[in-house]
Chains A and B, each alone.
Chain A
Amino acid sequence: GAGVSQSPSNKVTEKGKDVELRCDPISGHTALYWYRQSLGQGLEFLIYFQGNSAPDKSGLPSDRFSAERTGGSVSTLTIQRTQQEDSAVYLCASSLGDRDGYTFGSGTRLTVV
């Protein structure tokens, strides 16, 4: 597509429930990234996929967080047993390479109540 598409745009969930966030990158972009932006905070790296290489999961805050990328395209970020501190905007970005611009989606605003 023309841009990076994320869904849902907003998600309210109860504490303890699992959630799945979806990212459709720009067609042909081999690199895909997930970041988290909390209110008043900066951008926190979560996970990075590059082509067929093993993903860089070094930013995932706990084992409740996981992500996969199927067929080198769509990615799903899963948060199990959500906690209130998981409330944030989850941003996805894709790019052709590390010297190109990264295109960000509009994000999914997750609220855990």
Chain B
Amino acid sequence: GNSVTQMEGPVTLSEEAFLTINCTYTATGYPSLFWYVQYPGEGLQLLLKATKADDKGSNKGFEATYRKETTSFHLEKGSVQVSDSAVYFCALSGGGNQGGKLIFGQGTELSVKP
């Protein structure tokens, strides 16, 4: 079945550092890909999405490009801030016989130090 694998955390960076959180997926068909963020004490929020190959999702300075050839959707940000400290989840839906079920990676905790 479909699955999502993220790099393990926690990831600790200094403010203004470059961020990459790796995400790869396994799916048949053409799934949609998402990044969700969970700030401390809050619920899950959609950060960005991409629905087809080579699409780039972007929001709040974060970007991720849907790479079908490498089955990846890595999250990047050029300059992180302390306020970006959160848990980031990569997810997919659709494709194959999974229907609309949203399948999550295990989450990557990001801690940004001033």
Q: Which residues of A come within 8 Å of B, CB atoms?
A: 31, 33, 35, 42-43, 45, 48, 50, 56, 91, 93, 95, 97-99, 101-107
A107 pairs with B100, CB closer than 8 A:
no
Main secondary structure of the interface of A (DSSP, over half): strand
Q: Which residues of B come within 8 Å of A, CB atoms?
A: 32, 34, 36, 42-46, 49, 51, 89, 93-94, 99-107
Known contacts A43-B89, A50-B99, A98-B94: does B43 contact A105 (CB below 8 Å)? yes
13 further A-B pairs in the complex, CB-CB below 8 A; given A43-B44, A103-B46: A42-B107, A45-B101, A45-B103, A48-B99, A91-B44, A93-B44, A97-B100, A98-B93, A99-B93, A101-B34, A105-B43, A106-B42, A107-B43
A95 pairs with B100, CB closer than 8 A:
yes
B100 pairs with A42, CB closer than 8 A:
no
A99 pairs with B51, CB closer than 8 A:
yes
A99 pairs with B94, CB closer than 8 A:
yes
A43 pairs with B99, CB closer than 8 A:
no
Distance between Cα atoms of A56 and B43 in the complex (Å): 23
A99 pairs with B101, CB closer than 8 A:
no
B45 pairs with A48, CB closer than 8 A:
no
Known contacts A98-B93, A101-B49: does B43 contact A45 (CB below 8 Å)? no
Q: 18 A-B residue contacts at CB 8 Å?
A: A31-B100, A33-B101, A42-B89, A43-B107, A45-B104, A48-B99, A48-B101, A50-B99, A56-B99, A91-B43, A93-B44, A98-B93, A99-B32, A99-B51, A99-B93, A101-B49, A103-B46, A105-B43
